[in-house]
């Protein structure tokens, strides 16, 4: 069986193999308007994500190992900075497109996930506040994450550049369940310097059905937690 070229589960994302390719967006580039405008979406996916794919493949051309993307991230400390940035960028964006949706029915919060969030944070509002504060407080470019940490608890963390919680180089490791890209390229055309406003608006396009799926997968398959 050949490795998948696109993925919609954590396991499939982990099993992606080089040469990597740009996954199709699971919706049209205008369909997340007005929260994310079409030009931002086209540039973000077609130019930025494509560049991570291209550069990850270039960085791997001299690498004879054929490990999958998940293994690569788990051992990223032993690899080049170019691979760390670009394989990270490929995983992060492939994941990010999946946790957004224009589909109203998928934007409804499943009761199982709602309870998990309430247990961990007190309320959904408190979780959002913490995630927004973490994203606003992150200096420079990076990501804010909702993860299942090594204890299996829901937690919020941030990473710089294109690092992610699967990498052995980050201090807080875990299995990503949800993420927001807080690089300026994700919001600058529409929100300019107003990152906090972008973070407030994005809640209305979250695919909670998918986040619930990722959370159940993270809980079930603890092996994929580094």
Interface size with Mn ion, residues (CB under 5 A):
3
Residue 47: how many CB atoms within 10 A of its CB? 10
* Cβ proximity to Mn ion, 69 vs 225, nearer residue: 69
- Widest pairwise Cα distance in the chain: 49
* Cβ proximity to Mn ion, 117 vs 144, nearer residue: 144
Going by the DSSP 8-state scheme, the letter that residue 24 receives in this structure is P
Compute the least distance from the CB of residue 2 to Mn ion, in Å. 28
Compute the least distance from the CB of residue 140 to Mn ion, in Å. 13
* Cβ proximity to Mn ion, 183 vs 198, nearer residue: 183
- How buried is residue 146: exposed, middle or buried, by Cβ count under 10 Å (0-12/13-18/19+)? buried
Compute the least distance from the CB of residue 50 to Mn ion, in Å. 11
Q: Distances from the Cα of 46 to the Cαs of 42, 70, 94, 155, 196, in angstroms?
A: 5, 23, 12, 31, 25
* Cβ proximity to Mn ion, 96 vs 214, nearer residue: 96
Compute the least distance from the CB of residue 164 to Mn ion, in Å. 12
Compute the least distance from the CB of residue 214 to Mn ion, in Å. 19
68-85 burial, b at 16+ Cβ within 10 Å, e below that, comes to ebbebbbebeebeeebbb
Positive or negative torsion for Cα 103, 51, 166, 188: negative
Positive or negative torsion for Cα 113, 119, 121, 123: positive
* Cβ proximity to Mn ion, 14 vs 94, nearer residue: 94
Told to check if 214 binds Mn ion by CB under 5 A, we report no
Applying CB under 5 A, which of residues 95, 183, 198, 208 lies at the interface with Mn ion? 183
Q: Which stretch binds Mn ion (CB under 5 A): 2-10, 72-80, 183-191, 215-223?
A: 183-191
* Cβ proximity to Mn ion, 20 vs 183, nearer residue: 183
Helices and strands per DSSP (H, E), number in the chain? 10, 3
Residues numbered 153 to 182 that lie near Mn ion (CB under 5 A) are: 181
Both structure tokens of 156: 């919020």
β-pair partners for 142: 160
Binding site for Mn ion (CB under 5 A): 181, 183, 186
């Amino acid at each position: 069986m050949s490795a998948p070229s696109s993925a919609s589960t954590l396991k499939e994302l982990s099993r992606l193999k080089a040469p990597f390719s740009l996954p199709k967006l699971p919706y049209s580039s205008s369909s997340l308007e007005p929260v994310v405008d079409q030009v931002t979406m086209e540039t973000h996916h077609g130019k930025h994500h494509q560049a991570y794919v291209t550069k990850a493949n270039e960085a791997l051309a001299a690498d004879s190992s054929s490990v999958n993307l998940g293994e690569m991230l788990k051992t990223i400390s032993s690899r080049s900075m170019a691979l760390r940035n670009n394989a990270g960028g490929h995983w992060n964006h492939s994941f990010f497109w999946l946790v957004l949706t224009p589909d109203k029915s998928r934007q409804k919060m499943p009761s199982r996930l709602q309870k998990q969030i309430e247990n961990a944070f007190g309320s959904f509002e408190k979780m959002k506040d913490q995630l927004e504060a973490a994203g606003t407080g992150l200096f420079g470019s990076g990501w804010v994450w909702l993860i299942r940490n090594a204890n299996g608890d829901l937690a919020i963390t941030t990473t710089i550049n294109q690092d992610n919680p699967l990498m052995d180089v980050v201090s807080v490791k875990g299995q990503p369940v949800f993420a927001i890209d807080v690089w300026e390229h994700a919001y600058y055309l529409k929100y300019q310097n107003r990152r906090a406003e972008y973070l407030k608006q994005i809640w209305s396009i979250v695919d909670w059905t998918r986040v619930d799926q990722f959370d159940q997968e993270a809980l079930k398959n603890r092996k994929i937690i580094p």
